Structure 1
């Protein structure tokens, strides 16, 4: 099967029409239509039903779409590995790391240890938020990731726990409530709240919302951000409070962390990888996580 035609097919399905897909690729619409027809001839089955609204998948088309993305990801993975070997390495490993890795010494220690024990493996690090990390692993853009998530968040991923951190209210030391440390979320009910956007850390976002619901309050959200470093700096400047892993306030003279009784959330730092991947390199990384030096 021609991988180029398969990529065109995936683009058409995801765009919902040949016209929109042609504009995104970009390629002339008649040429794209011809490529889809040639793919159908090659497969020996009709893949798309066309109407004025766009395209829909036949049963055969649905099967090809469900498996086609995985095939393309695997082809691109093989190409990356081939380039690695051509450059003189025995293998490669691309790892996503949380954007607050500098607050967690264990991450740097793990990476340093892996690099020291496996100098023949090309190691690539990408600093990314947890949500995008998980998607990049699923899409085959990363081999593994070190991220904040829960084991039930995505069944397509395998997980290995690294550490657990209590979530806390992080506020500026200049905040009025610092004079009498609060013991409940309600103390911050009217205070401006700066939070992560849901696509950054969906699991944590939903768990925080459940805590607010159980406390019977609606947070005064003034801003949503994708970047925890930005949130921390805005909180330190006195713009509002945030709910973050308590380690975010550690060693910061401008910040204080509170752990109220009704905020019983723990943020799990995990090593994650795609379940259907078979990699001795990832197996070795898992061994190091399970048996820290």
Structure 2
């Protein structure tokens, strides 16, 4: 319903480069550049500044991106609603699903209540949770995706979305299969002395910040290497490729075939739950009410 050039423009901005956008859209960078040149020519304005470091938006580009995202979301919503009316599907909740944050976590929890609340249907929407794109996904909840399920404790994420915790994931250590520690069944902090440990950068997630402080004060023998604020599959690939250990979650135990996730003798954990828009639709509000009734008051961070 919106032009291909506008779709490409939005993808380029979300990805931060022509090459990454081309990969997402399964076309060549040259094709992406052609679409962008056509769009700028049609509009008679410059949307992007190109340099060796990548791309950045002009003032005109910022305006088009902001309004273009709204237009794209409204177009998707219009199609979504029309299809639901045609199918007579009742209330449909769109759940985002990715490799690190699969929708199955929520759909499995919902199974015992499915018969009681038969008016609800789930539409599973795949999304990219790369470190470059995850914030745009969480900030746009309510447009293409209604809710996400996972460990979303970032301060930046919670500025733009509501969060209802459902439980906890335990901190674990991912070890490359060829690493000597991979032979162990579980680990202690002393086992990590002298090892390189990759973990989320401090400053954005409170449980991680507390963990950072503990490690620095009590176990300086562990060599901390900060990754980005947000993990993606490349984080796990880097761990496997470099031989470093990785602070991970028990929920991600099977993410990478060449990493072994081991429990550690500690009590560190982090909440997981449902992330949804700051101003959710009535359907989402009612769904969250049901979730809260069924799972009790988990001291929501809303």
- Comparing 140-149 with 92-101, which one deviates more in the overlay? 92-101
Find the aligned partners of 2:12 and 2:196 in 1 and give their Cα distance.
43
TM-score with structure 1 setting the length: 0.60
2:151 is aligned to: 148
Shift of 1:76: 1.4
CA–CA separation in structure 1 for the residues paired with 2:276 and 2:214: 29
The aligned counterpart of 1:273 is 276
Residue 76 of structure 2 corresponds to 76
Q: Take 1:106 and 1:28, find their aligned partners in 2: how far apart are those partners?
A: 39
Separation of aligned partners in 2, 1:85 and 1:205? 44
In the alignment, structure 1 segments of 5+ residues that lack a partner are: 38-46
Question: Relative to 1, partners in 2 of residues 1:8 and 1:243: Cα closer, same or farther, differing over 3 Å?
Answer: closer
Change (3 A) 1:204 1:245: farther
| Aligned-pair CA distance for 1:159 | 0.9
In structure 2, the partner of 1:111 is 110
1:219-271: CA deviation from partner (whole Å, max 9, x where unpaired): 387x99846xx89xx9xxxx88653345778xxxx9762233xxx64311121
1:44-77 alpha-carbon deviations (Å, 9 max, x no partner): xxx648889698534x664443343133223212
Indicate the structure (1 or 2) with the bigger Cα radius of gyration. Answer: 1
Counterpart CA distance in 1 for 2:135 and 2:216 is 27
Unaligned runs of 5+ in 2: 23-28, 176-180, 254-259, 296-302
Give the length in aligned residue pairs. Answer: 253
In the alignment, which residue of structure 1 is the partner of 2:194?
A: 190
Give the C-alpha shift of residue 22 in structure 1. Answer: 7.7
Distance 1:106 1:50 in 2: 39
Relative to the length of structure 2, the TM-score reads 0.59
Taking structure 1 as reference, are residues 12 and 36 closer, same or farther at Cα in structure 2, changes over 3 Å only?
A: farther
Q: Pairwise CA RMSD of aligned residues?
A: 5.1
Q: Deviations over 1:158-194 (max 9, x none)?
A: 1111113442457778429x6xx73xx354123465x
Contact 2:163-2:275 within 8 A present in 1 as well: yes
